[in-house]
Chain A
Amino acid sequence: EIVLTQSPGTLSLSPGERATLSCRASQSVSSSYLAWYQQKPGQAPRLLIYGASSRATGIPDRFSGSGSGTDFTLTISRLEPEDFAVYYCQQFGSSSTFGPGTKVDIK
């Protein structure tokens, strides 16, 4: 089973700042099968990025994804108030796993 590790666990930033979230896999993941989600309290996760770098429908361009192999990154170029949430990465190889999440909270 591929284990995903996300860092940092919590990121405390101010609106307007840049957020860089990391997702590291225990073995190589095909970029086609790496996704990022945003989850707010009491809500279902929302797909942000699929295929490591493609934005899902309706996702603002301040969200971008990059990476390959075992190291992937989600970047939020300028944080808006609605971006404070928990972010998860997910992979699908022979089975699927999610990372433990990074909480982005207001500094």
Chain B
Amino acid sequence: QVQLQESGPGLVKPSETLSLTCAVSGYSISNGYYWGWIRQPPGKGLEWIGSIYHSGSTYYNPSLKSRVTISVDTSKNQFSLKLSSVTAADTAVYYCARGGWLVPNYFDYWGQGTLVTVSS
């Protein structure tokens, strides 16, 4: 059974960089699939942030592209998100998920999500 678990600080100061990691178990990232980050502000809808392949190939949401970096560490079977210059608008539950076999697509396995609050 594929399982994903997000981890990282729950509180980030404005203008700083948000950093999260997603640990994957039950499946080796090196075997394929795209892996993605999605966020959901409190009481609002879902927003795709970006997706990465085990080779490092990435797709980013154009509206966030200038601030987002997604990376993968196959040796640790995990992938990470960095979002720079955060503001209160970046406060959200951040989910990691598995999405797409050879190309980015739907997300079939999700982490439980982690709330990140941007506040001084």
Contact = CB atoms under 8 A, between A and B. Distances in A.
Contacts, number: 64
Which of A1, A44, A45, A99 lies at the interface centre, i.e. has the most chain B CB atoms within 10 A of its CB? A44
A50 B62 CA distance: 24
A94 B60 CA distance: 9
Contacts of A35: 105-107
Interface string B66-105: 0000000000000000000000000000010100100111
Nearest to B65: A95
Classify chain B's interface size. Answer: 20 to 34
Given A56-B108, A90-B106, A92-B100, A45 B46 contact: yes
A100 B45 contact: yes
Nearest to B113: A44
Contact of A47 (B104, B108, B112): B108
B59 A95 contact: yes
Contacts of B95: 44-45
Classify chain A's interface size. Answer: 20 to 34
B108 A92 contact: no
Contacts of B60: 95
A32 B103 CA distance: 11
A45 B47 CA distance: 12
Interface of A: 1, 32-33, 35, 37, 39, 44-47, 50-51, 56-57, 88, 90, 92, 94-101
24 contacts: A32-B105, A33-B106, A35-B107, A44-B113, A45-B107, A45-B110, A47-B107, A47-B108, A50-B106, A56-B108, A57-B108, A88-B46, A90-B46, A92-B103, A92-B104, A92-B105, A94-B59, A95-B59, A96-B36, A96-B61, A98-B45, A98-B46, A98-B48, A101-B46
